[in-house]
Every structure is written in structure tokens, then in C-alpha cells.
Amino acid sequence: MKRIIIHEEYCIGCGLCEVHCIVKHSRTGKIIRAFKEERDQIVPGVQVERDGYESFALQCRHCDDAVCIEACMTGAMHRDPETGAVLCDTDRCVGCWMCIMVCPAGAIQQGADGTVASKCDACTDEEIPVCVANCPNEALVLEDEE
Amino acid sequence: MPNWLIEPDFVVERDPDRCIQCEVCVRQCANEAHEFDEELQEVFTDSTRCVGCHRCASLCPTDAISIRPAELEFRPNENWSAQAIRNIYKQSEQGGVLLTGMGNPEPLPIYWDRMLLNASQVTNPSIDPLREPMELLTHIGSKPQRLEFSGGETPQLETTLGPQLELHVPVMFSAMSYGSISYNASEALARAANEVGTYANTGEGGLHEDLRQYAGRMIVQVASGRFGVDVDYLNSGAAVEIKIGQGAKPGIGGHLPGEKVSADISATRMIPEGTDALSPAPHHDIYSIEDLRQLIYAIKEATRYRKPVGVKIAAVHHVAAIASGCVRAGADFVAIDGYRGGTGAAPTMIRNNVGIPIEFALAAVDSRLREEGIRQDAGLIVAGSFRCAADVVKAIALGADACYIGTAALVAMGCHVCQKCYTGRCNWGIATQDPYLTRRLNPNIATRRLVNLLESWAHEIQEIMGGMGINAIESLRGNRDHLRGVNLTDRELNVLGIQMAGE
Amino acid sequence: MATNRTLPFKDMGGCSISGVMDESGRRFSGEEIIRSIRNMHERSNGLGGGFAAYGIFPERADQYCMQLMFDTPEAKRETEALLDERCNVHYAEDIPTRPHEAITDEPLLHRYFVSVEPDKSRPHLDENDLMVELHMEINTTIQDAFVFSAGKNMGCFKGVGFPEDIGEYFRLEEYEAYTWIAHGRFPTNTTGWWGGAHPFSILDWAIVHNGEISSYGINKRYLRNFGYECTLQTDTEVIAYLFDLLIRKHGLPLEVACQAMAPPFWEDIERMPEREQAQAKAIRAVYGGALLNGPFAVVVGSTGRMIGFSDRTKLRPQVCARGGDRLYIASEEAAIRTICPDPDVVWHPDGGEPVVGELQAGVQVA
């Protein structure tokens, strides 16, 4: 499986990955409308962590041995059989936050309404995830797993 | 006292209908022109801080930002231009020398644009470089007047050629020191030179340990400050260049402020961390031509005569005589930097007013060396603003072996020629050592872009040569018959050694 | 009679060339070469034709034969005064011609057999150097005089007209030579001046050329380094001077000189064995200014030798043949077969590959 890798030495902390993640997961898919109409309703699946000049765009690693799936009591957190991506079925999520507690990467958040978990869905319908496609410094890249 | 006489150069306009308050611009501007007001939850812009580098506009995901010159007009005055007035405001406010970066921006004639190239029609077939060989391979170094062969059935070459640089494209990256540009920029130049088969020049800042793996395609520079120079450094590169002068600032030395001298730069330059790296105006062991000869031969001895040793000079009034002297002093190549050549930092008055155009300097030097019968003794490299492949072709037709590009390479890496290199706050991560900014230049991307640039220029040079019916660059070199002048006086045509269009 | 002797900056156009050498040194009449060049009538346009012949003056083989044209009697007098000053004139005569309906406006044509004494004040110059100097001086300083050739036991005959008419005009069937080379011009820009026809000659080098040298601008500047002034502003002239420089002055073996003028491509050099590669690289690096670029095919005559070669990509035609002791080189095979109907071998040399005819071992032509 191809995975999104962050070369943190080239992450410039611009936040364009977050911007494009929000647009991708908006209702209209149009950047200006997404921000004007839905900004408060979407939590991006990628989050830029900043500390001084260093920064790091973080998203779900879609682990092979995904503890979030094991920890999920309702089976909401599951692996997509086709793509191998770890996804959250929000219809089944009850908001117990066990996934957030166990995630070693800290890559799962509460959704905007605070009732279900929200995470990176690996843009499985895109050839290249939008955060990778729009990273201006190629810090985020899609690489074959070693 | 407030700087109320300092006026903004640009006005930054934000289209409120398009701005999504994502703060990308805020994070990108090292000059802090954009600010996010937490209370109002809105981005505001302070135009006085804008240098016109376009970093914010380039990264803005909604194209909400536009930047235009500040339309603050003085009463029209051909003599007292706005720039002249503003310079005085600045100097009377702050005292001191006006500083600037990049090459001369003044509206002086660009002679490349007044020379036009030839092409074949009917009597001579043009050549299609995609189907037939079109050779750009260039050797730079001292060559004998003639070769000796021993007799016998098959002639055997008896002459041994001195060391030569071998260029697959007649364009090299000009001297830009680690210090004036970031490590990532240096790495990209070195890697691109290796990939394309040309050379990058270290500049006067030494060569970082981690970059020595690329040194087979690097020219190591020795300048008046001797920063980073030891025998290993001299022997690490493919050639050694003694820097006497630079086109942007003939007659003065370099200045790297102490705050840019980080641990890494201090190790590379072999100077204490945090100290100003000031290179003297002259080499204090070169007060005349015979002293230059001694340094050339000292370096040749140190490198066991295995590397070409060249001399870089700025194009000044008597450039032909000076270049001839350098050749006679033993230089294997002479690099001439014209008055439009770039810099990381130079006094504005010097950059804008000292030196002569590279076009004239090149024509005069090539002619002079040929008149003296010593053109073979040294390669001739020219620098000082080559903007495109056509400029390169014209320079080679005038007599150059190869061109150095500095600014063009930086532009390929993202530089927007904002002329603020000397501030150390390059938003593109090129002319800066600030770790917040240097990471903006991913050397993988920069290398790729530099390689693309050189390869596209190589293709264009081949296309132009093919049109002329020339399939080897040695037949273009010094072939002024393929140049014609427009908009030039007889004197200008004479110095350039070319005919008028229509002749 | 003052004429315009400015030549176009470059001699652009197409042409026919033919050369025949008998390697046994046997001499034969000019009738054959006239027939050969006539066969390619279509390749010239009547604006220039010429010949060079080797071995035609055996009785005066140790003297330089200077063949000149004069547009005015004054020019002739001026030239003769200069010759008296610079050399010993042993014999002089009008170059024999016959009236020809196709040949008009002919200049005065005269030949001088001369020798030169060493110049004591300039001992580094040998007699060849002094002859080159005299040749250049006449061409550059005497307005209406022009040297066709000034070599030993050879001569150039040329003028405005079709080459076969020029040959008949000069009565070439009455001469016997072991090498003949000929040229018919198809210039696209010309001023119908007799001196502008081929061959171009210096000492005993004579060149006939079909093509255009795109590298002329740098070849001319390169030659100037070594004291050659390209007075005629024709690209053919640079070929003659390059042969003189590389072979006579630099002492390069013939194949090396040809390799300098039409070197192999770098991609071919890369595939050569190491020693050969180093040699080829050195030749290209050092003799870049001598590389002849653009389309050309030439035949070069010199004492005891005839060389044919063409540009690296062979953009102009050249066919070779051997029959008995003879080597034939021409633009078209038909021009060879018209005088040698049944050659032993016919071949098309590769671009840049020199074809050399040389007198057989022991043959003396003096």
C-alpha cells in the first residue's frame, strides 16, 4: 500500500494541506464556499503541528496493526478491504473516544459537532491525496511502503 | 523618531470576497506584512513591509492577494526620480551606505537585445537537432597552439593536454557562496551540475563537508578572504578559480554579517561562529600582475597541476589588457563578470554605476587575446546576466567558451528578484540562513528545476545552431558572422566586431 | 579598365567538382577533365569555372609559377615592379588562350616563373613563407591584379564562364598533368569576377569546393592567429589556408589534418579504444577553430597528392572510383564514367572520411 509520508525537514508549516483537506471534505468542493459555509463543520484529517521553525503535518498512518480498530467497541473503526485504509463509519461511532486514547500518533480528532470521531480517509477516491497534491514543498509525499 | 518619510514600495491588496482567512500568507511572510488579528479573526496587511517577493500571492490558495507598485506619485521630474528622492530619505534617516541585492536594475542598454542571430536558407541546409547530432560538448582549459604527432604508419599523439573542464552544456552555475545562499540552495546547484554535466562554483565561502561528494563537478573559489581554503578544499574540486572581482561590486570585497555565520557556516568558512566574514577589497598578496602569477602557480603546485586554475575579474574599463595579463600570468581560464552581474549584497551606488557591459568586455577580450595569439591558452567564461538561451548563443558567437548563470539559476529555484538578499529574510529559502526559511527550499525540487532549466536551454541552443547549419559548438564559438546588430552605432558595432543587419 | 573585385562575403551556392590523379605519375592531357566537368553542366550556371593541373611544367619544376590576372596594364606594370624587387623572374609569358565565343571580358593573363632569395633580416622565414607573403601582398595591395596560383610545377586556370568553355579557352588539352582538378560554379550571389572562380590556391595547394562553410566566421579568425589574412572573403579560401597551416606549418599527418577539419562526432569518439579516443578528443579540443561546419565537399590538390573529403554529415555529394592507376573523385558518378566507363571500383566515402591519392613509392614528378 502507498502511504502518505511526511519529510518534516521540508514541512514549511504553511497549512495548505489542512486547507485542501477541508475543501475536499466539504459539501461543494469549492474552496471559497467551503470556507465561508462549512469552515466550522469540518475538522481536517491532517493537522500541522508547529514548534518554533519546525513543523509537521500529521495524519493517520493507516497502521497495519491498527490499535484503534481493536479498541473500537462498535466496529465503527474498520479497515477498508479494497484500499487498506483505516476508516471511521460515523453511523456506528458512538463517540467513546477510545480510538483517540489509543492512537500512538495522535492522529484522530473529535468531529466538529463533538459526537463522532474524525480522521484522515486517505482520499481513497483520489489518485493522489489532496494534502500531497497541494503540498508546495513536496514535504508530504505518497510513497510505497518499504 | 518615526520613519514617516519612508514610503511603501508596494500596495498589497486582499480581495475580501476571496480571502478565506486561512493564514497561509501570515505564515509565509518573513517580513511580517500579514498579520492575523485574533480578536477580529481576520487577516490584515501592512504594505510598508512588503518587498514584492510574491511568496504570499504564490501560495494563496484562492488567489486573493495582488501586489502592485505604490502609486504615490511625486511631481514628475526626470532628474529627481522617485528612487533618487527615496534614497535620500532613507540615508538621511539611517545614515550609511545604501545596500542592495541582485544585479543592476537600471535602464541601461542591454546589448544582447541589439544583436540578432542568423539562420540557413536554401544554399545551406538547416539541421534538425532531434534527428541529427548537435554537439555542445565544451572543453575549458589551456590548450596548446598545435599538437605534435610521431611519424610512422599510424600517427601517435605526443602532446599531453593540460587539465580541462568538460561541459555537456556551455552554461555553468556562477559563484554563490554557502552563506550568501542557503545550504539547500548550494546542494541543489551542486547536484544539478552533476546531473547535467556542467559545473557549480562554490563562491568564496568554502565547501561544506556534505557537499564534497559533488565536488567533481564543482569549481572551488579562492577569494581575498580565503574563507574555507585549505589544501583539501583546493584538491576537492574540478578546478580552482581565483576571484579578483565581481561584476556587481568591482573593487570591493564581500561582507557576510556575523548573524548569518551559523555553526555550519563557521565550520565551512573556517572562522569563529558569529563573526562577520569580511573579505578585503584586494587580495593582500596580489598588488600586481606578477603577484597573481605567484598565486596561480602556488595553487597549481598545491593541486599538482591536475586542475585548471582560473581567474575571475569584473568587466572594467581596461578589461582586455587585464584579461590578457591574467592569461599571460598562467590562468587556464578567465571568467569575466559584467556590470549587470548579481550579488547577495552590494552598495547600491557601486552596483549601479561601476563596470562595463559584458557584451563589450567579451568582444574586446576575445579580440585582444586573438590579436596576441593567446586565445588558445585560456578558456573564456562570461557572466553578468544571461537571461535565456539566446543570450548564451550570442555570447558564444561573440567568443565565449561558456557562460555562468547566477540569477537565472536562483529564479529557477523560485527567486522573484526582489533584491532583498542582503536582509537575510528571503521568503523563498534561498538567500537566507534562517532555519524557518531555509526549509522552504526542498533541494530535490530545486535540483529538478535547475536540471530542467539547463536541459531546456541546451535544447534551445541546439535548435538555434541547427537553424544556422552548425552541428558543433566549436563552429559557433567566436563566429561573429552569425551575429548582426540593430540599433547600434558604428562605434558599438566596431567594438562588438559585428556587422549591421542587412550587411 | 577598372572592375569591381569585391566578392560576396561568402561564396554561396551549389557546384560541380571533379578530380583525376594518376598515381603512377603518368601525365595525361586536360581533354579528359574537360569532358568530365562538361558532363555536370547542369550543376553550374556559367558564372565561374576553373582547373588546377599538377606536373605541367617539368622543365621549370624548381621555380614557382605565378599565374596572374590583371584588369589593367597599370596593374601589370605595378606587379612586375614588385616582382623585380622581391624575386628573380626567370621567364615570363602570356598564358596561352584561344578566342572563344562563350568567353568575354577576359583580363590580361600572364605567368612568371620565379625564385626567391632568403631574407637575411628575417631568417625564420623560408622560401614558402616569403612566397605566401608576396602572394598576399599582391592580392591585398594592387587593386587590379590577382594571383591565380603561385606553386611549383602546377598552375590554376579559371574565369567567368562554364568550366568546359574555360578549359577550351585556356587550351588545357595542350597540357599534360598527373593530377587535374576542376570546378563549375553555381553561385547565388556573384559579381562575375575572374578571380572569384575556383580553384583557390596558395603555394601548391589548390582547392575546389562545393558547399558553404557555416563556420567561416571562426575559421577566418582562427587563421588570423597564425598570420593568414582572408583577403577574398570566400569560404573556399579558408580551406586552402587550413591545409597549409595544419600540414605545412604544424606538420600534422594528413589524416590528422582532415580529422581536425571534419572530426568524428563525440558519440563516436566515446566508443573508440582508449588511446584513439584521447587523440580524437585532443584534436577536437585543440583544433576547434579549424573544424569546417556546414555542407561541403572538396577536392584538394597538392604536389604528389589529391585529397577528397566532405563534411561530417555529408551534405554535399562525393563519389570516388579507381581504374588502373587512376583515382577519380567527382560530384556525380556519371562524370567519372564519362571518362572511365569501366572503373575497377566505385564507392561513396562517409562524411568526414578523407580519400587520398598519392604517387606510388619511388615515383618522381619533378
A40 with A77, same domain: the answer is no
**pLDDT-based confidence at C2, cuts 50/70/90?**
very low
Q: Which domain holds residue C211?
A: 13-357
Using pLDDT thresholds of 50, 70 and 90, give the confidence band for residue A145: low
Residue B439 to residue A19, Cβ atoms within 8 A: no
Q: Does C294 touch chain B (CB under 8 A)?
A: yes
Q: In which band, very low, low, confident or very high, does the pLDDT at C9 lie, cut at 50, 70 and 90?
A: very low
The answer to whether B442 contacts A20, with C-beta atoms less than 8 Å apart, is no
User: What is the Cα–Cα distance from B399 to B169, expressed in whole angstroms?
Assistant: 16
Helices (H), C142-253: 163-169, 216-224, 235-243
pLDDT attached to residue B260: 83
Both A3 and A55 in one domain: the answer is yes
Give, for B310, the enclosing helix (H) or strand (E). strand B309-314
Residue A68: is it exposed, middle or buried by C-beta count within 10 angstroms (0-12/13-18/19+)? buried
CB spacing of C225 vs B373 below 8 angstroms: yes
Q: How far apart are CA B454 and CA B170, in angstroms?
A: 9
- Cell reading at A34: 467551503
Instruction: State the amino acid at position C114 in one-letter form.
Output: V
| Secondary structure of residue B479 in the 3-state scheme | coil
Nearest Cα residue in chain B from C267: B133
How far apart CA C105 and CA C356 sit, in angstroms, is 37
* Residue C66: Cβ within 10 Å count: 25
Is it the case that residue C63 has pLDDT exceeding 90?
yes
Same structural domain for residues A18 and A43? yes
Secondary structure in 3-state letters for chain A: CEEEEECHHHCCCCCHHHHHHHHHCCCCCCHHHHHHHHHHHCCCCCEEEEECCEEEEECCCCCCCCHHHHHCCCCCEEECCCCCCEEECCCCCCCCCHHHHHCCCCCCEECCCCCCEECCCCCCCCCCCHHHHCCCCCCEEEEECC
- Name the residue of chain A whose CA is nearest to B24's CA: A14
The identity of residue B389, as a single letter, is A
Give Dmax over CA atoms of chain A in angstroms.
41
Considering only CB atoms, B61 lies closest to which of A19, A138, A139, namely A19
Q: How many domains does chain C have?
A: 1
pLDDT value at position C1?
34
Q: Is residue C362 domain-resident?
A: no
Pull the grid cell for residue C104: 568575354
- Under DSSP, is residue C90 helix (H, G, I), strand (E, B) or coil? strand
- Cα distance between the two ends of chain B: 64
| Domain match, A7 and A24 both | yes
Other beta carbons within 10 Å of C311: 27
With the C-alpha atoms ordered B173, B178, B179, B182, is the resulting torsion angle positive or negative? positive
Question: Is the CB of residue C221 less than 8 Å away from at least one CB of chain B?
Answer: yes
C114-128 residue pLDDT tens: 999 988 899 888 999
pLDDT of residue A64: 92
Beta strands B402-405 and B171-173: pairing type? parallel
- Which positions of C are annotated as active-site residues? 15
Q: Each residue of C48-62: pLDDT tens digit?
A: 899 999 999 999 999
Is residue B406 a contact partner of residue B383, using CB atoms and an 8 Å limit? yes
Listed as ranges, residues in chain B with pLDDT below 70 are 1-3
Instruction: Verify that A42 and A91 share a domain, yes or no.
Output: no
Compute the distance between CA of residue C28 and CA of residue C173 in angstroms, rounded to an integer: 9
Q: Which residues contact B58 (CB under 8 A, 6 or more apart)?
A: none
Among B309, B129, B308, B303, smallest CA distance to B233 is for: B303
**How does pLDDT run across B365-391, given as a tens digit for each residue?**
999 999 999 999 999 999 999 999 999
User: Is there a single domain that holds both residue A128 and residue A113?
Assistant: no
Walk me through the domains of chain B, giving residue ranges and CATH numbers. 10-96 (3.30.70.20), 163-500 (3.20.20.70)
Distance separating alpha carbons of residues B172 and B312, to the nearest angstrom: 14
C308 domain residue, yes or no: yes
- Summarize the confidence of residues C280-291 as an average pLDDT: 96
Chains that touch B (3 or more CB pairs under 8 A): A, C
Distance from CA of C322 to the nearest CA of B (A): 23
Are the C-beta atoms of residues C83 and C135 closer than 8 Å to each other?
Answer: no
- B434/A53 Cβ within 8 A: yes
Contact B17 A9 (CB under 8 A): no
Domain span at residue A90?
Answer: 63-119
pLDDT at B258: 86
Q: Quickly state the pLDDT bin for C7 (edges 50, 70, 90).
A: very low
Closest Cα in chain C to B123: C13
The domain spanning residue C94 has which CATH number?
A: 3.60.20.10
Summarised one tens digit per residue, pLDDT across range C225-258 is 887 877 666 778 899 899 999 999 999 999 899 9
- Residue in B133, B139, B159 nearest the CB of C267: B133
Backbone angles phi, psi at C328, to 5 degrees: -120, 135
Per-residue pLDDT at A52? 93
For residue A67, what is the domain's CATH number?
Answer: 3.30.70.20
Which residues, 6+ apart, have CB-to-CB distance to B381 below 8 Å? B140, B172, B310, B333, B334, B335, B336, B400, B401, B402, B403, B404
The predicted pLDDT at position A94 comes to: 96
> What pLDDT was estimated at residue A92?
96
pLDDT at residue number C14: 67
The verdict on residue C364 lying in a domain is no
Which C positions 254-273 lie with beta carbon below 8 A of chain B?
A: 255-256, 263, 265-267
Work out whether the CA dihedral A65, A67, A68, A71 comes out positive or negative: positive
- Cα separation of A88 and A100, whole Å? 12
Torsion of CA C312, C316, C322, C325, to 10 degrees: -90
Amino acid at C106: E
Closest Cβ–Cβ partner in B20, B436, B441 for A31: B20
Q: Is residue C160 part of a domain?
A: yes
CB-CB neighbors (< 8 A) of B20 in chain A: 19, 31-32, 35-36, 39
Q: Rounded distance, CA C235 to CA C216, Å?
A: 6
How many domains, in total, are found in chain A? 2
Whether A139 and chain B come into contact, CB under 8 Å, resolves to yes
Statement to judge: residues A98 and A139 lie in one domain:
no
Is the Cβ pair B442, A138 closer than 8 Å?
yes
Question: Taking a C-beta distance cutoff of 8 angstroms, is the pair B64, B23 a contact?
Answer: no
Q: Would you say residue C140 has pLDDT above 90? A: no
Percent of chain A, pLDDT > 70? 98
pLDDT at C5: 44
Q: Is the pLDDT of residue C187 over 80?
A: no
pLDDT of residue B5: 80
Q: What is the pLDDT of residue C186?
A: 83
In contact, B360 and B339? CB cutoff 8 Å: no
Residue C365 resides in a domain? no
State the DSSP H helix or E strand holding residue B128, giving kind and residue range, or none if neither. none
For residue C238, tell me if it sits in a domain.
yes
pLDDT for B496: 98
Q: Three-class SS of residue C356? A: strand
User: Minimal Cα–Cα distance from A49 to chain B, Å?
Assistant: 13
CATH code of residue A136? 3.30.70
CA A20/CA C76 separation, integer angstroms: 90
Contact B62 A134 (CB under 8 A): no
* Same domain as A67, residue A14: no
Cis before residue B250, ω within 30 degrees of 0?
no
A80 with A129, same domain? no
Residue B7 has a pLDDT of 84
Q: What's residue C4's pLDDT?
A: 40
**In angstroms, how far is CA B268 from the centroid of its own chain?**
21
